[in-house]
Amino acid sequence: MGQTLAEKIIAKAAGVDHVTPGEIVTCKVDLAMMHDSAGPRSAGKNLDKLGVPIWDLDKLVVITDHYINDDNPSHQEIQKHAQSWSADHDIKHFIKEQGICHIVLPEGGHVKPGMFIVGGDSHSVTGGAFGTFMVGVGATEMTGVLATGEIWARVPETVRIDVTGALTPGVSAKDVILKLCGDYGIMGFNYQAIEYSGDAVSAMSVEERMTLANMAAELGGKAGYCEPDQKTADALTGWGAKDIDIETWRSDADATYAKTVTIDGNALTPHVAAPSSPENSTPIAEHKGTKLDQAYLGACTGAKLDDLRMAAAVLKGRKIKEGFKFMISPSSLAMAEKAKADGTMKIIEDAGGIILPMGCSGCIGIGPSRLEEDTVGISSTNRNFVGRAGPKSSKLFLGSPYTVAASALTGEITDPREFL
């Protein structure tokens, strides 16, 4: 019987030839990633209490991204602790303030197809865009991984999402995932692996696939992934990864799926998720004209280089609405530099966008992009739960980078296709 890519990777990690959904196995971890929020001060603290060393310093990456570039004293203390803990434990791969962990991990050459990876954050599933099985774990599970290099897993069923045809101008991967959130809800694929496939996915850049994999978390997925191809290999090679195998790590033709969901890429329109859940997602026409106070382009989901270029395509030669706040926090320093070099950033700034330092900032409600009391915003982030991006009285809509930029031009929710 054939296996899905997820099942193949789990079987390899468990040291067996074949696994079956529902089976519980113990897996050896190829790579672990922690960030400043839940890493050294949580899992690291637990490990120190146990008094045991890190199982393999070559397989741990620590990244500061959540509480960076902020003058809050408690946030600065978190940074100091992350740095001192990493120094005390001789962490070889400590990445300081280079961008959001889910972006800089592959940018650092640490990820390649076929790896079984754990990350101390729910959106660690982003790594699945490169043909890995990457899951988010809590501090207790991460402590176990740090000490032993192993973790137990219940083999998930796999759901196939087939995006057919071709996405039209102004429609992106974010619209695909928002439609799924609207159709199936935030627990619609609870503890299932989600395999994104189809012509529209094959046509996507690896950065767009990262958006799909990232928001598998919003669907309740254990993991989300795309089969690797030459685009995957080219991107990872460019980031310094070696020995990339895009042939072995693919689902078998006779693999069994729990279900297959088909989305017509040709017919898909921009989508917007209303407050206060990604599952409140509908076609943009239902919210067109809703007044806004600010727009934010940021996070691991919505401020990669491709995302910045989407915004620039809408903003070029135009100005945002007078008095309207449009803030941009690039996903990584490297991507910000590329956007500056190719003129993307200048287009955004000329339109009136305010460029902020890299980091999670507006996604988690810190820094200048935090929503104020009783305000309404739109964002390219992945979650709009009550109180996440600002006080409980604030409200947040979610949209694609195209939609966020178009809405910044008008000060209200706007279909980006009007500007393309």
Hey, what's the torsion of the CAs at 77, 66, 189, 115, to 10 degrees? -100
pLDDT digits (tens, 9 = 90+) for 72-121: 999 999 999 999 999 999 999 999 999 999 999 999 999 999 999 999 99
Residues of the chain by 3-state class (helix, strand, coil), percent to 5? 35, 20, 45
Q: What is the pLDDT of residue 365?
A: 93
User: Which phi and psi (to 5°) does residue 24 adopt?
Assistant: -105, 125
Alpha carbon 342 to its chain centroid, in Å, reads: 24
User: Which phi and psi (to 5°) does residue 208 adopt?
Assistant: -65, -40
| CATH class of the structural domain 5-264 | alpha beta
Average pLDDT, 10 consecutive residues per value, the chain (420 residues): 96 98 98 96 97 98 94 93 98 97 98 98 98 98 98 98 98 98 97 98 98 98 98 98 97 98 98 98 97 97 98 98 97 97 98 95 93 98 97 98 98 98
Specify the CATH number for 271-419; select among 3.20.20.70, 3.40.50.300, 3.90.1200.10, 3.30.499.10. 3.30.499.10
User: Which phi and psi (to 5°) does residue 384 adopt?
Assistant: -135, 35
pTM over 0.75: yes
pLDDT digits (tens, 9 = 90+) for 10-40: 999 999 999 999 999 999 999 999 999 989 9
Q: How far apart are CA 155 and CA 116, in angstroms?
A: 13
Where exactly are the structural domains of the chain? 5-264, 271-419
| Topology alike, domains 5-264 and 271-419 | yes
DSSP code per residue over 268-331:
---EEEPTT-TTSEEEGGGTTT-B-SEEEE-HHHH-SHHHHHHHHHHHTT--PPTT-EEEE--S
